[in-house]
């Protein structure tokens, strides 16, 4: 029955655990910049903190990719979650902002190990080669968590406050790590690790343009969906913490529009869908940033969320098409590490842009990045999917 809807065991387990993890994380994550302010951090310190977390979330992906190709996807998807859970529990117990940031940076470093394995297992578990459908299930799980988490977080803030929500998140991660270790089935059964020559050979002209696309994506997303979402909503639109959580939840709900756009990839091709959504995202983000109030900015904000989701599904499909099973996790890890520099620098850059041009400046810069994303996808030739998912499914 599940395969009828494009789901199998692995996709079901991944979707379920991702939903629970994201739900718990986003009861408090959108308010982290304001919590750091409460602990005495300046806006510049917040920008640096998010830069460090973004860098950590990406830079260690290169090791996670190599580990997933050598030792398999399942262990890399499960074991780091125990470390992240313990670090979150420790973070909930401190009011020292420097220690809190250090613990969260370390947690993001462990999270980085998982991303290449997640992308690879999703592609290799796709039913009937429907890559976009497989990624859309993962993204749907994320979005449901993004919608529900802030709503419940807003309701619980008066009872538990942010430290209590972080502690609960840590406990949840420990449980979900155990579920993944037991329930997931390995998709890289013959993995022995890709050679350096194989990985180097994978970086052809297609891959270089794809890296440029990923760098722009990382920078743009880390600004509008990072600390500046809350900072802009508070400083430009004068919203409360509860209102900001609700606004983020509403934006995440709008991202379901993007799932429909992303699924068009299986019919129209990844390039066309990536180009369309990158263009739409850039325009919407720029208009969002110049809106004087939430009443004027709500529509472009919702559109930006939707186009970003459509872009993400199509881009992940493209990523699977231009990589092979033997080197997929290693290549994805290298790309994530490189693009992580761009994503890590962006929050600090955003702070300087606010100083120079006001609250709208980072969003206008993201608008320009969206246009460049559309330009960078044009030279990427259509890749050929090597039937990995079909082989796994039939084995």
Residue of 64, 34, 45, 146 lying closest to 102 (CA atoms): 45
**Are the C-beta atoms of residues 247 and 233 closer than 8 Å to each other?**
yes
Q: Is the CA virtual torsion 227, 153, 252, 126 positive or negative?
A: positive
Q: Where residue 196 falls among pLDDT bands split at 50, 70, 90?
A: low
pLDDT attached to residue 18:
95
pLDDT attached to residue 384:
42
Q: If DSSP codes are grouped into helix, strand and coil, which group holds residue 90?
A: helix
Radius of gyration, CA atoms only, the chain: 20
pLDDT attached to residue 394:
39
d(CA 184, CA 72): 11
Residue of 125, 118, 115 lying closest to 63 (CA atoms): 115
Q: Where do the domains of the chain lie, and which CATH numbers do they carry?
A: 9-380 (1.20.1250.20)
**Are the C-beta atoms of residues 367 and 289 closer than 8 Å to each other?**
yes
Residue 118, H or E segment: helix 115-124
Highest mean pLDDT among 201-205, 210-214, 365-369: 365-369
Q: Where residue 333 falls among pLDDT bands split at 50, 70, 90?
A: confident
User: At a CB cut-off of 8 Å and minimum separation 6, what does 254 contact?
Assistant: 301, 302, 303, 305, 306
d(CA 207, CA 187): 24
Residue of 215, 222, 200 lying closest to 362 (CA atoms): 222
Cα separations (Å) of 119 from 61, 93, 219, 233, 332?
12, 33, 20, 32, 8
> Could you read off the pLDDT of 279-310 as tens digits, one per residue?
999 999 999 999 999 899 999 999 999 999 89
Q: If DSSP codes are grouped into helix, strand and coil, which group holds residue 43?
A: helix
Q: What is the average per-residue pLDDT within 98-117?
A: 93
Q: Give percent of the chain with pLDDT exceeding 90.
A: 37
Residue of 202, 226, 252, 207 lying closest to 342 (CA atoms): 226
> Could you read off the pLDDT of 25-64 as tens digits, one per residue?
999 998 898 899 999 998 888 888 888 887 888 778 888 8
Q: Where residue 391 falls among pLDDT bands split at 50, 70, 90?
A: very low
d(CA 74, CA 72): 6
Q: Give percent of the chain with pLDDT exceeding 70.
A: 89
Cα separations (Å) of 315 from 213, 274, 276, 320?
9, 6, 12, 9
Q: If DSSP codes are grouped into helix, strand and coil, which group holds residue 195?
A: coil
């Amino acid at each position: 029955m599940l395969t009828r809807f494009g789901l199998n065991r692995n996709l079901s387990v991944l979707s379920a655990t991702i939903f629970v993890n994201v739900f718990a994380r986003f009861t408090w994550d959108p308010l982290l910049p304001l919590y750091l302010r409460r602990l005495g951090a300046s806006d510049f310190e917040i920008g640096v903190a998010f830069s460090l977390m973004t860098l950590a979330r990406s830079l260690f992906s290169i090791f996670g990719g190599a580990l997933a190709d050598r030792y398999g996807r399942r262990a890399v998807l499960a074991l780091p979650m125990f470390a992240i859970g313990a670090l979150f529990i420790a973070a909930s117990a401190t009011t020292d902002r420097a220690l809190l940031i250090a613990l969260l940076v370390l947690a993001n470093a462990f999270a980085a190990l998982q991303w290449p394995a997640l992308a690879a297992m999703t592609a290799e578990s796709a039913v009937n080669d429907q890559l976009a459908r497989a990624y859309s299930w993962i993204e749907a799980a994320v979005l449901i968590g993004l919608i529900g988490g802030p709503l419940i977080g807003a309701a619980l803030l008066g009872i538990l406050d942010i430290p209590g929500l972080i502690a609960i998140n840590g406990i949840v991660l420990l449980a979900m790590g155990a579920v993944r270790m037991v329930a997931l089935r390995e998709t890289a059964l013959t993995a022995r690790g890709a050679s350096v020559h194989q990985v180097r050979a994978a970086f052809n002209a297609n891959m270089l343009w794809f890296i440029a696309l990923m760098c722009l994506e990382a920078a743009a997303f880390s600004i509008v969906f990072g600390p500046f979402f809350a900072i802009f909503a508070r400083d430009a639109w004068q919203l409360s913490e509860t209102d900001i959580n609700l606004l983020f939840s509403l934006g995440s709900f709008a991202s379901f529009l993007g799932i429909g756009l992303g699924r068009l990839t299986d019919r129209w091709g990844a390039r066309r869908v990536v180009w369309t959504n990158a263009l739409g995202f850039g325009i919407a983000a720029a208009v969002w940033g110049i809106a004087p109030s939430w009443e004027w900015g709500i529509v472009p904000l919702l559109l930006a969320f939707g186009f970003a989701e459509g872009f993400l599904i199509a881009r992940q499909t493209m990523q699977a098409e231009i990589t092979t099973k033997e080197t997929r996790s290693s290549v994805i890890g290298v790309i994530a590490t490189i693009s992580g520099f761009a994503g890590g620098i962006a929050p600090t850059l955003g702070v300087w842009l606010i100083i120079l041009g006001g609250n709208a400046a980072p969003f206008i810069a993201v608008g320009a990045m969206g246009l460049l994303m559309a330009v960078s996808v044009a030279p990427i030739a259509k890749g050929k999917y090597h039937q990995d998912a079909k082989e796994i499914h039939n084995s």
